Each structure stands twice: as structure tokens, then as C-alpha cells.
Amino acid sequence: MDFSDDIYIEQALVLKEVKHAFQKLVGEDSMESLYVTDIIQRLGIAHHFEHEIEALLRKQHSVFSSHLSDFVNGHKLYELALTFRLLRQRGHHVPPDVFECLKSNKREFIAKYGEDVKSLIALHEATQLSIEGEDSLDDAGYLSCQLLHAWLKRHREHHEAIHVASTLEDPLHYGLSRFRDASVVVSDYYKTKKEWTCLEKLAEINSCIVRMMNQNEIVQVYKWWKDLGMVKEEKFAKYQPLKWYIWPMACFTDPSFSDQRIELTKSISLIYIIDDIFDVYGTLDQLTLFRDAVNRWELADTEQLPDFMKMCLRVLFDITNDFAEKVYKRHGLNPIDTLKRSWVRLLNAFTEEAHWLRSGDLPRSEEYLNIGIVSTGVPVVLLHAFFLFDHSINLETVAVMDNFPQIVYSVAKILRLSDDLEGFKKQDQKGVDGSYLDCYMNEHQHVSAEDVQSHVCHLISSEWKRLNEQVLTQNELPSSFTNFCLNAARMVPLMYHYTTNNPCLSVLREQIKMVHNVDSGHM
């Protein structure tokens, strides 16, 4: 890559300085080392400290588990909540009732912590990692939310008010660090300590490198799209590869995963294109022929299809076969059969939806959701992403992925319901191709539009709990992949804008604009 060597030299020097300071701190003060770990993660530079953070949190988990009562009684609420969140984020089991003793008397809790914004924010952030059945943790989250809202009403002009409102609107667990405002991450306390001023410097360098890599990658993606020849076909000429690239850009957070971001963009492009073929361009007979060709994985007996469909089939076969060959060379295992099955499942779902669309009959809500989860394309995307990581791949883990694991199901369900909720609010989809909300209201005639939206919000919240549980308890799939799944779910509110005041949106738009300024000159 044509990047300046100077920035990498500067990065190496600053990184060495930060690592030295961090390792020294870990040996001296375990609690303050957790504060710095939190800052490192918020600044989006945790990939530089994977081994150090893992060792620190393993040690902290051992202390926490062995002396739980002493830890709870010997630490402030802020420290307890931060430790809980960092450990759970890393997949360490922490009992959900650690805050129970603190809030056993609600009146005393309010008196003690009602004005302690720092602790209430930390508690609110920690409770976002709850899983199904953790009522005590949910109660703590509800209480912290109530107290933060009450604090905001009393202190609208306080300098912390914007931070509190932002936390309530967009908790850390549901967002991506690169789309947050880094200027508010490092506290004034750390800015005054000479050894930690290098943290912000490292984050600035990292941001610059990531931006350069993203710009270089989108140029390569546009070149690939142009060389593919599909852009010459009128129906495909309108597509903007930047839209496809945004997901890999956000979910592969390690800057070194440049090839992976480009490779995954290719598969995502086909999902968008084939979705349009099934929604807009094809007759039912043509779509059946198209699906059957994918089932056979060959172009034979497709003479009746229009040229643009045959072109799409050729590209699908070529890209997928090429992808499988690259995986085989890297891991010694050929995933082509698993990849084929994922495409067949997707095409079957598209076909079912095409029948619904053309018949005008809405299915039952559960039937719609079962098909709609597959038709998001999420299972295909996450399967391809799984094969792009450096982790070891074997027949057992491939079998897990082949069977549509719960973590993939949860991400797909969050996306489907969020997409349908946003479309229902805008009325763009209602009466056109239906949505879960339309099906549900058709099935339950007495339910109002407001009630069905609340119902869907509850379903999304419940699915997040299941996703949290998968990240926390998953031992069959690598953590690098489960974190990718988590990032994919975090992208959903940004892409579907159902939290329109989300402060991350402006950062995302700004980053897209910077990349777009580069790609517009390479069409």
C-alpha cells in the first residue's frame, strides 16, 4: 500500500511508550489499570493491547470471583460497575446480583447516589450487558435510568448534561467506538498526567491510518466493480459500492483486516443485487429458474433467463468459488458446500417472499419472521466473515456455522425487526411487501399501531439479551467472530436510523463523506 512510512514509524514509537506505561500501571494499581483499559477501548485502539487486556482481565476476574463479597464492599459503585462491564464484555462470567446489596433499600440508594452521575452512568452502562432472566440486573438498570433522567431535569445547564443525555440515548454496548466523538473520552484527570497524553496521540495516528486504509480499500472495491462488467448492464449501473462496503468497514475493526473488508464487500454486493432481482425485476417463473440454477450450482438450463440474470449467476458462482479457493489455501479446508447451502437458503427465502408479494396475501407473523430473518442476508454475510478470520477452522466449527447458530439468528432478527420497524414508521413498506408489523396487525385486529411498535421494540430488546448471552457463553465459536457479530448488531441502529438522535450518526456520516470524496473520482 502506498502509505507514508513516517506515520507507521511514529505509531510504533508512541505505541511502545503507551505499552510501557500500561504494563507499569498493571503491576502497581489494578483498579486504575481498568480505567485505562476502558479509555483504550473507547478510543478504538484495543487491537494494539489484546494480550495485555486479556491477561489483566483474567487476573481481575480471578480476584473478583474468589473474593466477591470483599470486592463489592471494598469498592465504590463506579469501580464495581466498570469492573462488571469490562469482565462481561470479555466473556467472563460475573453474577448479575452484585449490585443487589447496594440497592436493597431504594431510598438509601437514591440518597447516596442520586447526585453521583459518574457512578449512575457506569451502572447504566454495565446493566446493558444483561441476559434473559437477570431480573436483579434489569432492576438496577431501570433504577439507574430513572435517576439519570431525574438528574437531567435538575441540572439541564450542568457541563455533564450532554454526556448524561448521550449515555441514555446511546449506551456504549450498542455502539462502535470509531463512530464516537473521541474528544470526550479521555478525562481531564488523564490529560494532566504526562504518561497518558500519548493515549490520545496513538488514537489520532490510528484514526489517520484507518482513514487512509478505508480510502484505499474503497478505490479497490470500485475498481473491482468496474472490472466485473456488471456496471455496463443498465439494471446494475445505479449501484453504489460504498453502501456495501460500510458494513465490513465498521465490523472488521482491526485496521490490518484490509483484504477481509474488500472480500466481504463482494459477497454483500451480491445480496443487494439478487434481492432487487427478486423484488423488482423477475417474474415468478424466472425467479424459480434462477433459484434452481443456484441449487444445482451451474448455468445449464438457464437459456430462458434474461441476460442480466445469467450475468448475475455467473458472477455469484465465480466470486463464491474464488472465495472458497482462498479459504482452502489459507486453512486447508474447502467451504464451498457450506457456502452453496447458505446461498440456497437465501434464495429460497427470497422466492417465498416473492410469492407473498405477488399474491398480496400476508403470511402469519411468525411465518413471515422465520423467512424474513434468512432474507436479511445476515446468515450469508456472517458465514463469509467467519471464514475470513485468522482463527483456526475445523469441521466442527464449520458444522456449527452450517446449522445457523443462535448468535447469527439473533443478529439477523435484530436487523429484520429494526428494518421493519423503521419502514412501518415511514409507511414506506406498508401495503407494498409487508413487514412483521403489518402481519402482526393483520393477525391481531385489535392491536394499534403504537402497540405493535412497542411489541417490536420489546422483541428487539429481548433479542439483544440473547445476543449478550451468546457472546458471554459461546465456546464453540472464536471470540473474534462473536465480536464481529456483536459489531454487526451495533451497526443496525446506525443504518436503519430508528434512533434518529443517535450521536454516532453524525460521525458515521462524516467518515462516509471522507471515503466518498475519494471514491467519486474513481468511477
Listed by start position, the domains of the chain span 3-201, 229-520
The pLDDT of residue 345 is 96
The pLDDT of residue 106 is 84
| Confidence band for 452, pLDDT divided at 50, 70 and 90 | very high
Q: What is the arithmetic mean of pLDDT over 129-148?
A: 93
| HSE (side-chain half, CA atoms, 13 Å) at 295 | 12
The pLDDT of residue 511 is 59
3-201 and 229-520, same CATH topology: no
Whats the size of the chain, residue-wise? 523
Q: Mean pLDDT check: name the lowest of 16-30, 152-166, 189-203.
A: 189-203
Asked if the model's pLDDT at residue 501 lies above 60, the reply is no
The pLDDT of residue 512 is 62
Burial (Cβ within 10 Å: 0-12, 13-18, ≥19) of residue 399: exposed
Q: Is the dihedral of CA 42, 382, 415, 426 positive or negative?
A: positive
| Confidence band for 357, pLDDT divided at 50, 70 and 90 | confident
What percent of the chain clears pLDDT 90, i.e. is strictly above it?
A: 64
Contacts of 115 (CB under 8 A, 6+ apart): 151
Per residue in 40-58, pLDDT tens?
A: 999 999 999 999 999 999 9
Per residue in 385-411, pLDDT tens?
A: 999 998 778 899 999 999 999 999 999
Residue 457: other Cβ atoms inside 10 A? 14
Asked if the model's pLDDT at residue 502 lies above 80, the reply is no
Contacts of 369 (CB under 8 A, 6+ apart): 413, 416, 417, 436
Whole-model pTM? 0.91
3-state secondary structure 35-68: HHHHHHHHCCCHHHHHHHHHHHHHHHHHHHHHCH
Contacts of 69 (CB under 8 A, 6+ apart): none
Query: What mean pLDDT value characterizes the chain?
Result: 88
Asked if the model's pLDDT at residue 516 lies above 90, the reply is no
Q: How many whole angstroms separate alpha carbon 88 and alpha carbon 107?
A: 28
Per residue in 83-103, pLDDT tens?
A: 999 999 998 989 988 888 777
Asked if the model's pLDDT at residue 194 lies above 70, the reply is no
Per residue in 100-112, pLDDT tens?
A: 877 777 888 898 9
Q: How many whole angstroms separate alpha carbon 521 and alpha carbon 341?
A: 38
Give the residue with greater pLDDT, 503 vs 263. 263
Per residue in 52-80, pLDDT tens?
A: 999 999 999 998 888 888 888 888 999 99
Q: How many whole angstroms separate alpha carbon 297 and alpha carbon 139?
A: 52
Which residue, 315, 323, 322, 213, is CA-closest to 269?
315
Give the residue with greater pLDDT, 306 vs 425. 306
Residue type, 57: L
The pLDDT of residue 80 is 94
The pLDDT of residue 97 is 86
By the 8 A CB rule, do 448 and 409 touch? no
Q: How many whole angstroms separate alpha carbon 267 and alpha carbon 345?
A: 15
The pLDDT of residue 184 is 61
| The domain made up of 229-520 is a member of CATH 1.10.600.10 | yes
Residue 231: other Cβ atoms inside 10 A? 16
Integer Rg of the chain from CA = 24
3-state secondary structure 384-424: HHHHHCCCCCCHHHHHHHHCCCHHHHHHHHHHHHHHHHHHH
The pLDDT of residue 507 is 56
The pLDDT of residue 197 is 82
Give the residue with greater pLDDT, 433 vs 177. 177
Q: Rounded to the nearest 5°, which phi and psi values hold at 500? A: -65, -20
Q: Which CATH number fits domain 3-201: 3.10.129.10, 3.40.50.300, 3.20.20.140, 1.50.10.130?
A: 1.50.10.130
